[in-house]
Amino acid sequence: MKQEEKIPLFSRRELTISFDLQRVREICTLLAGQGVTCAVRRTGHKPDARLTGERTAGRQGPLFDGGRMGYEYILYVHRKDLERAQELLKRYF
Protein backbone atom coordinates (compact mmCIF):
# COMPACT_ATOMS: atom_id res chain seq x y z
CA MET A 1 0.00 0.00 0.00
CA LYS A 2 1.27 3.42 -0.82
CA GLN A 3 1.31 6.23 1.67
CA GLU A 4 -1.41 8.87 1.73
CA GLU A 5 1.04 11.64 0.78
CA LYS A 6 1.56 10.16 -2.72
CA ILE A 7 -1.72 11.71 -3.90
CA PRO A 8 -2.05 15.47 -3.34
CA LEU A 9 -4.74 16.37 -0.82
CA PHE A 10 -6.97 18.31 -3.22
CA SER A 11 -6.57 15.74 -6.01
CA ARG A 12 -7.64 12.65 -4.08
CA ARG A 13 -11.12 11.20 -3.86
CA GLU A 14 -12.47 8.64 -1.41
CA LEU A 15 -13.01 5.28 -3.07
CA THR A 16 -14.16 3.10 -0.18
CA ILE A 17 -13.92 2.48 3.56
CA SER A 18 -13.20 -0.90 5.14
CA PHE A 19 -12.46 -2.38 8.55
CA ASP A 20 -10.76 -5.41 6.94
CA LEU A 21 -7.04 -4.98 6.31
CA GLN A 22 -6.87 -8.03 4.03
CA ARG A 23 -9.60 -6.59 1.80
CA VAL A 24 -7.76 -3.25 1.70
CA ARG A 25 -4.60 -5.02 0.55
CA GLU A 26 -6.53 -6.93 -2.12
CA ILE A 27 -8.11 -3.74 -3.45
CA CYS A 28 -4.78 -1.88 -3.53
CA THR A 29 -3.12 -4.82 -5.30
CA LEU A 30 -5.90 -4.88 -7.90
CA LEU A 31 -5.68 -1.13 -8.47
CA ALA A 32 -1.88 -1.15 -8.68
CA GLY A 33 -2.06 -3.94 -11.26
CA GLN A 34 -4.28 -1.68 -13.36
CA GLY A 35 -1.98 1.35 -12.96
CA VAL A 36 -4.14 3.18 -10.40
CA THR A 37 -2.35 4.67 -7.39
CA CYS A 38 -4.09 3.88 -4.13
CA ALA A 39 -3.54 5.77 -0.87
CA VAL A 40 -4.74 4.54 2.51
CA ARG A 41 -5.49 6.43 5.69
CA ARG A 42 -5.93 4.45 8.89
CA THR A 43 -7.96 5.67 11.84
CA GLY A 44 -7.72 3.98 15.22
CA HIS A 45 -11.17 2.95 16.28
CA LYS A 46 -13.43 -0.04 16.07
CA PRO A 47 -16.53 -0.11 13.88
CA ASP A 48 -19.76 0.78 15.62
CA ALA A 49 -21.38 -2.42 16.93
CA ARG A 50 -24.74 -1.21 15.64
CA LEU A 51 -23.36 -1.36 12.10
CA THR A 52 -21.65 -4.74 12.42
CA GLY A 53 -24.34 -6.47 14.47
CA GLU A 54 -21.78 -7.45 17.10
CA ARG A 55 -23.10 -7.85 20.63
CA THR A 56 -20.92 -5.96 23.06
CA ALA A 57 -23.03 -5.71 26.23
CA GLY A 58 -20.52 -5.88 29.07
CA ARG A 59 -17.67 -6.90 26.74
CA GLN A 60 -15.75 -3.84 25.63
CA GLY A 61 -12.07 -2.95 25.49
CA PRO A 62 -8.89 -4.67 24.31
CA LEU A 63 -9.30 -7.68 26.62
CA PHE A 64 -12.39 -8.74 24.68
CA ASP A 65 -10.91 -7.98 21.27
CA GLY A 66 -8.10 -10.53 21.46
CA GLY A 67 -5.72 -7.72 22.42
CA ARG A 68 -6.05 -6.09 19.01
CA MET A 69 -7.05 -2.54 18.27
CA GLY A 70 -9.61 -2.12 15.52
CA TYR A 71 -8.92 0.24 12.61
CA GLU A 72 -10.91 1.87 9.89
CA TYR A 73 -9.13 2.11 6.52
CA ILE A 74 -10.09 4.83 4.04
CA LEU A 75 -8.90 4.25 0.47
CA TYR A 76 -8.26 7.17 -1.85
CA VAL A 77 -7.43 7.43 -5.54
CA HIS A 78 -6.54 10.38 -7.73
CA ARG A 79 -9.68 12.16 -8.93
CA LYS A 80 -8.83 11.38 -12.56
CA ASP A 81 -8.83 7.64 -11.70
CA LEU A 82 -11.99 7.57 -9.58
CA GLU A 83 -14.45 6.26 -12.21
CA ARG A 84 -12.03 3.61 -13.39
CA ALA A 85 -11.34 2.48 -9.80
CA GLN A 86 -15.09 2.31 -9.04
CA GLU A 87 -15.64 0.13 -12.10
CA LEU A 88 -12.82 -2.21 -11.03
CA LEU A 89 -14.35 -2.53 -7.56
CA LYS A 90 -17.75 -3.37 -9.05
CA ARG A 91 -16.23 -5.97 -11.34
CA TYR A 92 -14.00 -7.75 -8.82
CA PHE A 93 -15.56 -7.16 -5.38
Q: What is the pLDDT of residue 44?
A: 80
Q: What is the pTM of this model?
A: 0.70
* Number of domain units in the chain: 1
Residue-range definition of the domain harbouring residue 78: 4-92
Q: What is the pLDDT of residue 69?
A: 54
- CATH number for the domain including 59? 3.30.70
Q: What is the pLDDT of residue 93?
A: 86
**Residues in contact with 11: Cβ distance below 8 Å, sequence separation at least 6, in sequence order:** 78, 79, 80
Mean pLDDT per block of 10 residues along the chain (93 residues) reads 69 95 96 96 70 53 52 95 97 91
Q: What is the pLDDT of residue 70?
A: 77
